[in-house]
Amino acid sequence: MIRTPLLDTSPDADAVQFEHYARMSPAEKAARVVELTQSACAMSLVGLRIRHPGASTPELLLRLAALRLGAETVRKAYGWQAPDGA
């Protein structure tokens, strides 16, 4: 496996982290992916709330879906398009 070195992590710390991930079971890896995805969504929602302070929670969730899936997919699936076109 080819690994790109991390720029913000020492080689020793990177090696420890890689060994930790290598020992994880598939279920543990899947759980970690879920946790990271949830964290990314939460951070994205914070950013959306800052950029659109008057938006309702449903609108913010639709905007998040548009970020993740694309505006056209959200328009087709939910019949929603951002009022500002973003």
pLDDT at 5 over 80: no
pLDDT confidence of residue 85: 74
- What pTM does this model have? 0.74
pLDDT at 83 over 90: no
- Report pLDDT digits (tens) over 12-40: 888 898 899 999 999 999 999 999 999 99
HEC string of the chain equals: CCCCCCCCCCHHHHHHHHHHHHHCCHHHHHHHHHHHHHHHHHHHHHHHHHHCCCCCHHHHHHHHHHHHHCHHHHHHHHCCCCCCCC
